[in-house]
């Protein structure tokens, strides 16, 4: 019985990690930025996706293969999805000409499965600094955010299972 409770606890922690994860994205004023939203379940046909800003402003709505064009005036003519990526579960949003007022929390909502992905956008003013590319290869510093959060979830899962044994 204790072993079953441990599995249930590990599953619950894995689900909480997935739902409550907050992706952090940074941009400079005047730049374009992609706010990520990846839904991993398949198949996807005639999907409805809503992007919201602080859950009260409509950023973008997509349903049945069409843009609904009901954006809040703050986002009018500055947003788009990537329709060719929808079948892969990619509903990431392109936000163009980033403004200081765009700073804050965004939500990507797929109502058919109650899927929500939250993104926090930080907007920096001034000129964009010069960036240095990291070397290619097995450089753990270059590991992406998704890989890192997956490793953390796996580590948490394994540590709970080991405590139960």
Residue whose entry in the numeric block shows the structure tokens 């939203």: 37
The Cα–Cα gap between 64 and 111 comes to: 13
| Domain contains 132 | no
Mean pLDDT of the 43-60 span: 88
Residue 40 has pLDDT above 70, yes or no: yes
Instruction: Choose the most confident range, by mean pLDDT, from 9-13, 25-29, 38-42.
Output: 25-29
| Domain contains 159 | no
| Domain contains 1 | no
Output DSSP code: residue 45: -
| Domain contains 107 | yes
Instruction: Answer whether 40's CB lies under 8 Å from 126's CB.
Output: no
Output the pTM of the full model.
0.65
CATH of the domain at 117: 2.60.40.10
Number of domains composing the chain: 1
| Domain contains 153 | no
Give 44 or 125, the one with higher predicted confidence.
125
Range of the domain at 113: 22-126
Give 14 or 75, the one with higher predicted confidence.
75
| Domain contains 140 | no
Rounded to the nearest 5°, which phi and psi values hold at 151? Answer: -60, -40
């Amino acid at each position: 019985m204790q072993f079953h409770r441990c599995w249930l606890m590990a599953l619950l922690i894995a689900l909480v990690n997935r739902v409550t994860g907050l992706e952090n994205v940074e941009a400079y004023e005047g730049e374009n930025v992609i706010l990520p939203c990846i839904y991993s379940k398949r198949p996807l046909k005639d999907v409805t996706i809503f992007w919201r800003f602080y859950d009260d402003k409509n950023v973008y709505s997509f349903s049945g293969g069409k843009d609904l064009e009901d954006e809040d005036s703050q986002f009018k003519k500055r947003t788009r999805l990537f329709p060719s990526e929808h079948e892969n579960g990619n509903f990431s949003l392109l936000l163009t000409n980033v403004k200081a007022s765009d700073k804050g929390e965004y939500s990507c909502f797929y109502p058919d499965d109650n899927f929500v992905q939250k993104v926090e956008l930080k907007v920096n003013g001034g000129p964009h600094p010069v960036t240095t590319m990291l070397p290619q290869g097995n450089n753990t510093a270059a590991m992406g955010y998704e890989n890192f959060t997956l490793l953390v979830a796996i580590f948490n899962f394994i540590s709970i299972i080991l405590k139960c044994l």
